[in-house]
């Protein structure tokens, strides 16, 4: 059987629009056979997703997208095939939830200074028990007609350098990689080109990442062109990393990104799923 992989997506446990169940059903409808649920800093959606996955006969990997800091910059580390019950990983998610709440308070205070009150109450309500993300703030700004799209919310308020941006210290990069690998998972550097780093910085972070035990890099993401795939593939080859594929799906409203709609991995890249069978060995 030819598998169709999507190893990066979000549910309502973080900033995705679909519940874990609906997300899994949609993945199945799109022909995905192996899915990893990778919510920001939480595995809370996994249990529900697993029930839907066994009904739909789709292979589900427990995953996460950890927010990590290295040299004052933020990186996202996807964990694939993790054990959500591994205590240090679970503790880390709780700590990151506190960091996210504190950041939310600071973002809301900055918005208030821009005469936009009520953000904290609104995002706490919309996030509920889930991780509060900047996406929740973007949706709030859209709902209050301060901006007309999520993108505009980031461009005018939430992105780095904008008035409501708050610099945040996330988990240390090597700790994030360790929680993933120690729980039996594979650590993958998410969307490497989105950090907008120079080749030199890229080299430095990939050195730190591989030294910490990182084994993969996303070579194919939901919105990338042939040149971007080529560049990410070069990083994979230069650092002897396996290649991952993941849409980073958040919402059906985004016509550019769909579950499972991904270019194939270049033939010269070792797929990350070739490591899945060896997972037990690394525990």
Angle in degrees, CA 165, 248, 273, rounded to 5:
135
Cα Rg of the chain, angstroms: 18
Q: Which one of 13-21, 80-88, 151-159, 229-237 is the stretch in contact with Mn ion (CB under 5 A)? A: 13-21
Q: How far is the CB of 245 from ligand AMP (least distance, A)?
A: 17
Q: How far is the CB of 134 from ligand AMP (least distance, A)?
A: 4
Q: Which helix (H) or strand (E) holds 98?
A: helix 87-113
Nearer to ligand AMP, 226 or 253 (CB): 253
Residues in the chain: 283
Nearer to Mn ion, 141 or 190 (CB): 190
Q: Which one of 115-123, 130-138, 254-262, 271-279 is the stretch in contact with ligand AMP (CB under 6 A)? A: 130-138
Question: Is residue 76 a contact point for Mn ion (CB under 5 A)?
Answer: yes
Residue 178 binds which entry of Mn ion, ligand AMP, none, CB below 5-8 Å type-dependent: none
Nearer to ligand AMP, 250 or 275 (CB): 250
Question: Is residue 15 a contact point for ligand AMP (CB under 6 A)?
Answer: yes
Q: How far is the CB of 204 from ligand AMP (least distance, A)?
A: 22
Residues numbered 52 to 91 that lie near ligand AMP (CB under 6 A) are 67
**Binding residue (CB under 6 A) for ligand AMP from 54, 151, 207, 211:** 151
Contact between residue 53 and residue 36 where contact means Cβ atoms under 8 Å apart:
no
Closest-by-Cβ residue to Mn ion is 76
Give Dmax over CA atoms of the chain in angstroms.
57
Angle in degrees, CA 218, 224, 230, rounded to 5:
65
Cα–Cα distance measured from residue 176 to residue 206, given in angstroms and rounded to the nearest whole number:
14
Q: Which one of 82-90, 127-135, 212-220, 232-240 is the stretch in contact with ligand AMP (CB under 6 A)? A: 127-135
Cα–Cα distance measured from residue 186 to residue 212, given in angstroms and rounded to the nearest whole number:
12
Contact between residue 222 and residue 246 where contact means Cβ atoms under 8 Å apart:
yes
Tokens of 272: 């990350």
**Binding residue (CB under 6 A) for ligand AMP from 209, 250, 265, 272:** 250
Specify whether the backbone of 275 is left (phi greater than 0), alpha (psi in -120 to 50) or beta: alpha
Q: Which helix (H) or strand (E) holds 152?
A: helix 150-153
Question: Is residue 15 a contact point for Mn ion (CB under 5 A)?
Answer: yes
Neighbours of 131 (CB within 10 A): 22
Contact between residue 22 and residue 251 where contact means Cβ atoms under 8 Å apart:
no
Question: Is residue 228 a contact point for ligand AMP (CB under 6 A)?
Answer: no
**Binding residue (CB under 6 A) for ligand AMP from 4, 28, 134, 191:** 134
Q: Which residues contact ligand AMP (rule: CB under 6 A)? A: 15, 40, 67, 133-135, 150-151, 154, 159, 250
Q: Which residues contact Mn ion (rule: CB under 5 A)? A: 15, 65, 76, 190, 248
């Amino acid at each position: 059987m030819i598998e169709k992989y999507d190893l990066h997506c979000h549910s309502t446990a973080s900033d995705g629009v679909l519940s874990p169940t609906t997300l899994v059903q949609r993945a199945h409808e799109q022909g995905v056979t192996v899915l990893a649920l990778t919510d920001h800093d939480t595995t809370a959606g996994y249990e529900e997703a697993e029930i839907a996955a066994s009904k739909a006969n789709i292979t589900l990997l427990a995953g996460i997208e950890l927010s990590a800091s290295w040299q004052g910059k933020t990186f996202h580390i996807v964990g694939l095939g993790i054990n959500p019950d591994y205590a240090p990983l679970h503790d880390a998610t709780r700590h990151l939830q506190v960091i996210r709440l504190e950041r939310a308070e600071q973002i809301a205070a900055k918005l208030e200074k821009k005469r936009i009150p009520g953000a904290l109450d609104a995002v706490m309500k919309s996030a509920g028990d889930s991780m509060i993300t900047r996406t929740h703030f973007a949706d709030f700004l859209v709902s209050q007609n301060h901006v007309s799209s999520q993108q505009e919310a980031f461009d005018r308020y939430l992105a780095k350098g904008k008035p409501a941006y708050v610099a945040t210290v996330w988990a240390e990069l090597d700790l994030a990689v360790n929680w993933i690998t120690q729980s039996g998972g594979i650590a993958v550097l998410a969307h490497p080109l989105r950090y907008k780093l120079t080749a030199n910085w890229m080299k430095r972070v990939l050195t730190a990442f591989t030294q910490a035990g990182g084994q993969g890099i996303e070579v194919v993401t939901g919105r990338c062109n042939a040149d971007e795939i080529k560049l990410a593939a070069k990083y994979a080859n230069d650092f002897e990393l396996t290649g991952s594929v993941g849409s980073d799906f958040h919402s059906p409203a985004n016509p550019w990104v769909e579950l499972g709609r991904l270019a194939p991995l270049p033939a010269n890249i070792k797929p990350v799923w070739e490591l899945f069978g060896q997972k037990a060995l690394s525990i």
